[in-house]
């Protein structure tokens, strides 16, 4: 049974590697980081509105879904400091710390 479990794990790892290769070959995963960053900035509100913010907490973070498309998109979003500059004071300390690190010294809006 241990041998079968090990083989299943090997095959799952191989499938993940093949999916990464497949994703890397798609047109959307070959877009330059600069273009992706601009697209992501369009998904992010320019400056959070505290009145809207209270109605739908987390609305300013919808662009984060784009980081789940592929590794290339995630990397592009993580390196775009402007995306990480709108913080809500009620967020978890871990999220705030991550966002401050990724904002890399850019001016931050705290709501």
Q: Where are the domains of the chain?
A: 1-30, 33-110
Whole-structure pTM value: 0.66
pLDDT of residue 10: 96
Do 80 and 39 form a contact (C-beta atoms < 8 A)? no
pLDDT of residue 55: 40
**DSSP structural state of residue 62:** G
3-state SS assignment for residue 57: coil
Averaged in consecutive runs of 10 residues, what is the pLDDT profile of the chain (111 residues)?
A: 95 92 78 91 70 52 82 91 83 86 89 74
pLDDT of residue 71: 86
A 10 A CB-CB count for 13 gives 10
Pair of tokens at residue 25 = 């070959």
CA distances from 63 to 13, 53, 69, 70 (A): 29, 15, 11, 14
**What span, in angstroms and rounded, lies between the C-alpha atoms of 56 and 12?**
38
Which residue shows structure tokens 């809500």?
88
């Amino acid at each position: 049974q241990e041998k079968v479990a090990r083989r299943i794990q090997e095959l799952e790892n191989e499938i993940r590697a093949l999916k990464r290769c497949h994703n890397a070959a798609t047109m959307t995963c070959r877009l330059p980081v600069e273009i992706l960053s601009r697209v992501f900035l369009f998904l992010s509100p320019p400056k959070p509105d505290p009145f809207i913010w209270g109605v739908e907490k987390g609305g300013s973070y919808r662009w984060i879904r784009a980081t789940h498309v592929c590794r290339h998109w995630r990397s592009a979003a993580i390196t775009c400091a402007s995306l990480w500059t709108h913080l809500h004071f009620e967020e978890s300390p871990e999220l705030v710390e991550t966002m401050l690190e990724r904002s890399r010294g850019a001016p931050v809006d705290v709501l």
